[in-house]
Amino acid sequence: MKHLAKQFLGVLTILVLVSTTTTASADDFTTKDLNDETILALSWVQNSAEFKALAFQAFNIAKLRWDMDKKRDKKCIVVDIDETIIDNSPFSAGLIGKNYGYRDSHWKQWCIAQSATAIPGALYFLNYVVKTGGEVFYITNRKAQPPKTMDLTLVTMNNLKALGFPQIDKKHMLFRTGSSKKQFRRDSITQMGYRIVLLIGDNLADFSESFDGQTMPEREIAVEQYKIEFGSQFIVLPNPIYGNWEGAIYGGGKWYEKSSKEKSDIRIDTLRKFKFSK
Ligand SMILES: [Mg+2]
């Protein structure tokens, strides 16, 4: 009898331990769990033919608009780099299974590897612009600033040159040396006497300072305001992996200080959901 009671107590202890462990892990939402939430977006970018079709569509419309512009003046296009003309999705996919988020040191490793590939349609269109009398300016938030360890100028230029992009030189490449906002750099191009025919990007802030707002309502109002420009002066590439849209769903500001659990909860809370009857 004493033996049985001892065995029962032993089983009970194991059960209590198991249930405690289960409860603890259910609440313990990690950065790895948050990273896992991007798997479908990454798979779509890397594996769907639809992503490629949308990229071709973007650059086909860009070509149509460029050809419609008959003026023979000092004209140019302005393009963003990351997720607009080159694909960095392997960098983001590298975070799957890891328990940390974006880090400058890892981004630097990826950039040094110069492994980014061209977005479908980008190479042809940018070279077409130059062949038909235009110039291409690249405005990127890749850094060329202290600390020196984050100077990504050379590796980025080498990556783009190797892919065959045109006008990869100091005049045409405007890296980030201060603010991430791009209006100042866009202005510097018009101040040199250029007329910007088209702007191409994956993030609304690539087009106008009117999109520098950080909240969802601010961004939505600006999009409504500029709706005529999309497909005419502004050409957008799809990026479901990252962008200012993500910070906006967390409310903007210092959203990056939120915990992985908070971010995941907000992602779910900001969805419009149909309520099933059962
Ligand atoms: Mg970009």
Residue 94 CB contacts under 8 Å (≥ 6 apart), including other chains: 106, 110
Confidence of residue 60 (pLDDT cuts 50, 70, 90): very high
Tell whether 5 is covered by a domain.
no
- Model pLDDT, residue 27: 66
Check whether residue 228 and residue 264 sit in a common domain: no
Going from the Cα of 84 to the center of ligand 1, the distance in angstroms, rounded, reads 6
174 is a domain residue = yes
Mean pLDDT of 200-226: 96
pLDDT of the residue at 34: 98
Q: Which pLDDT score is estimated for 1? A: 45
Q: How far away, in angstroms, is 29 Cα from ligand 1 center?
A: 29
The reported pLDDT for the residue numbered 148 is: 65
Separation between Cα atoms, residue 234 and residue 65, nearest integer Å: 10
- 143 CA → ligand 1 middle, Å: 13
- In this predicted structure, the answer to whether residue 14 has a pLDDT above a threshold of 50 is no
Number of separate helices (H) and strands (E) present in the chain: 12, 7
Q: Kindly state whether residue 18 falls inside one of the protein's structural domains.
A: no
Same domain, 211 and 185: yes
Residues 140 and 262 in one domain: no
CA of 242 to the centre of ligand 1 (A): 9
What is the pLDDT confidence band of residue 20, given thresholds at 50, 70 and 90? very low
Please give the distance, rounded to the nearest whole angstrom, from the Cα atom of residue 140 to the centre of ligand 1.
7
Q: Tell me, in angstroms, the distance from the centre of ligand 1 to residue 17's CA.
A: 48
Q: How do residues 135-147 score in pLDDT, each as one tens digit?
A: 999 999 999 976 6
The whole-angstrom separation of Cα 221 and Cα 216 is 9
CA–CA dist 1, 246 (Å, integer): 62
Assigned domain for 110 exists = yes
pTM of the model: 0.89
Tell me the pLDDT band of 57, cut-offs 50, 70 and 90: very high
Ligand 1 center to 79 CA (angstroms): 9
* Mean pLDDT within 200-208: 98
Q: Are residues 253 and 120 in the same domain?
A: no
**d(C-alpha 96, C-alpha 89), whole Å:** 11
Task: Report CA(69)–ligand 1 centroid distance (Å).
Answer: 25
How far does residue 208's CA lie from ligand 1's centre (Å)? 14
Its domain, for residue 104, covers 40-241
Say yes or no: 260 and 225 in one domain: no
| Cα-to-centroid distance, 160 and ligand 1 (Å) | 14
Question: Rounded mean pLDDT of 51-79?
Answer: 98
Are 108 and 135 found together in one domain?
Answer: yes
> Domain of 211: which CATH number?
3.40.50.1000
Please determine, for residue 2, whether its predicted confidence score (pLDDT) is greater than 90. Answer: no
Query: Ligand 1 mean position to 172 CA, how many Å?
Result: 17
Distance from residue 202's CA to the centre of ligand 1 (Å): 5
| Least-confidence region, from 20-29, 33-42, 90-99 | 20-29
User: Is the N-terminal amide bond of 147 cis, ω within 30° of 0?
Assistant: yes
Task: Give the rounded distance of the alpha carbon of 57 from its chain centre.
Answer: 19
DSSP alpha helix (H) spans, 69-103? 89-93
Pairing of strands 234-236, 195-201: parallel
| CA–CA gap between residue 51 and residue 57 (Å, rounded) | 10
Q: What is the pLDDT of residue 256?
A: 87
Judgement on whether residues 137 and 198 belong to the same structural domain of the protein: yes
Does pLDDT of 4 surpass 90? Answer: no
Give domain status of residue 17, yes or no. no
Is the domain of 125 the same as that of 255? Answer: no
Query: How many independent structural domains does the chain possess?
Result: 2
Same domain as 176, residue 268? no
Structure tokens given for 259: 């915990």
Are 93 and 180 within one domain? yes
pLDDT score, position 12: 43
From the CA of 88, how far away is ligand 1's center (Å)?
A: 10
Measured in Å, residue 117 CA sits from the centre of ligand 1 at 14
Pick the residue with more confidence: 16 or 229?
Answer: 229
Tens digits of residue pLDDT in 183-201: 999 999 999 999 999 999 9
Tell me, yes or no, whether 77 and 173 share the same domain.
yes
CA of residue 270 to ligand 1 center, whole Å? 24
Q: Do 37 and 267 touch, CB atoms closer than 8 A?
A: yes
The answer to whether position 7 is within a domain reads no
- Cα(133) to ligand 1 centroid in Å equals 25
Convert the pLDDT of each residue in 234-264 to its tens digit: 999 999 999 999 999 999 989 989 999 999 9
pLDDT in tens, 109-157: 999 999 999 999 999 999 999 999 999 999 999 999 766 678 999 999 9
Choose between 14 and 38: higher pLDDT.
Answer: 38
In a domain, 50, yes or no: yes
Q: What is the mean pLDDT of residues 43-68?
A: 98
Average pLDDT over all residues of the chain: 91
Per-residue confidence (pLDDT) for residue 145, from 0 to 100: 76
C-alpha separations of 35 from 27, 101, 261, 263 in Å? 17, 7, 11, 11
pLDDT mean over 4-15: 47
Q: Give a yes or no: residue 171 inside a domain.
A: yes
Q: How many Å lie between the centroid of ligand 1 and the Cα of residue 105?
A: 19
pLDDT score recorded for residue 235 = 98
Residues 163 and 255 in one domain: no
CB 47 within 8 A of CB 93: no
